[in-house]
Amino acid sequence: MTTPSTRRRLAYGRWTPFWFLAPAVLALFLIGIWPTLFALVTSLRRYNITRPRDGFPFIGLDNYVQVLTDPTFWDTLGRTAGFFLVVMPIQVALGLAIALMLHRPGLGMLRSLARVSLVVPLATTYAVVGLLGRLIFNRDFGVANALIGLFGFPPIDWLGNPTGAFVAICVMDIWQWTPFCALIFLSGLSMVPVDIEEAARLETPSKWALFWQVQRPYLLPGFTAMLILRSADVLKLFDMVFTMTRGGPGAATELISIYIQRVGFRVFDMGLASAQALLLLVITVVLARVYIRFFYREIEA
């Protein structure tokens, strides 16, 4: 077993990987890590930039204590988790259904049209999605009420009541991100070698067996990526909700990042906001680690 390693040693020098990696590492270090460290230090201080006269004294872990004992923080975190648990399964299910439809042979023209159309929601500016949501879900002149009216439902005051507003932001998020899931699943499906898929189709008439035994393994890595990216994005979700409801009515759509923005850029308590955001980062990293452990072994192997 010496041959491969000797060959590798011949192929490149010890420092070669370093030179390839250095620029990216350096760049992320300077513009990513440095500010994060700054935030870490800030989180240990009383740091309100609207009280410059008080100075920015170190106060140990007070900010973290305040975050952990702040019911609003937990409320918003719970609401964010709830939001994720509502939208994610729907996006995965719809995305998978769409991907399977797009993968199914036949109807070439319509299929490619539908595939291309998936790009539209993805490319729509998040802030504009929120504005659009305000127009669509308006009680008086919104098209949502006109559409449910066709089925005989009375108009709903979507953005004026807590449940309605929560549903409305879910709908807009599902609209925007289902195509993302569909595209990833579609790419997974098209990775299944054609001969294997054909053979399986001949062997079993059951679509379910085909999906579960042949296609599923090819979908898992993409599925993991989707979970990781979507969890991170939901925890960061700000623009769309901010332009659509600003967290209201009451606190019905106040997700965690809306709350942190409020603490950070309204009250300007940057120490507290930094502590909140860093805790959020820890949650995201832990989640990503968990997903990778369960679904995405390749990279570790």
Residue 170 as a binder of other proteins (CB under 8 A): the answer is no
Give the residue, chosen from 53, 55, 60, 202, that forms a contact with other proteins under the rule CB under 8 A.
53
Distance of alpha carbon 3 from alpha carbon 166, whole angstroms: 61
Residue 113 as a binder of other proteins (CB under 8 A): the answer is yes
Interface region with other proteins, contact rule CB under 8 A, candidates 13-21, 55-63, 78-86, 198-206: 13-21
Closer to other proteins by CB, 72 or 213: give it: 72
Give the residue, chosen from 65, 196, 267, 290, that forms a contact with other proteins under the rule CB under 8 A.
267
Q: Which amino acid is at 242?
A: F
Give the residue, chosen from 67, 77, 102, 234, that forms a contact with other proteins under the rule CB under 8 A.
102
Residue 34 as a binder of other proteins (CB under 8 A): the answer is yes
**Binding to other proteins in span 209-248, by CB under 8 A:** 218-219, 221-222, 225, 228-229, 232, 235-236, 238-239, 242-243, 245-248
Number of chain positions touching other proteins (CB under 8 A): 127
Do residues 181 and 91 touch, judged by C-beta distance below 8 A?
A: yes
The nearest distance, CB 96 to other proteins, in angstroms, is: 13
- Residue among 210, 215, 143 nearest 185 (CA): 215
Cα–Cα distances in Å, from 226 out to 98, 108, 175?
A: 15, 27, 16
Give the residue, chosen from 212, 250, 290, 293, that forms a contact with other proteins under the rule CB under 8 A.
250
| Beta bridge partners of residue 157, listed in sequence order | none
Do residues 148 and 141 touch, judged by C-beta distance below 8 A?
A: no
Residue 95 as a binder of other proteins (CB under 8 A): the answer is no
**Binding to other proteins in span 65-94, by CB under 8 A:** 72
Distance of alpha carbon 31 from alpha carbon 22, whole angstroms: 14
Give the residue, chosen from 61, 85, 93, 131, that forms a contact with other proteins under the rule CB under 8 A.
131
Residue 270 as a binder of other proteins (CB under 8 A): the answer is yes
Distance of alpha carbon 168 from alpha carbon 159, whole angstroms: 7
The SS3 assignment for 269 reads strand
Place of tokens 């559409």: 147
The nearest distance, CB 255 to other proteins, in angstroms, is: 11
Q: Which amino acid is at 53?
A: R
What residues have CB less than 8 Å from 71, skipping those under 6 apart? none
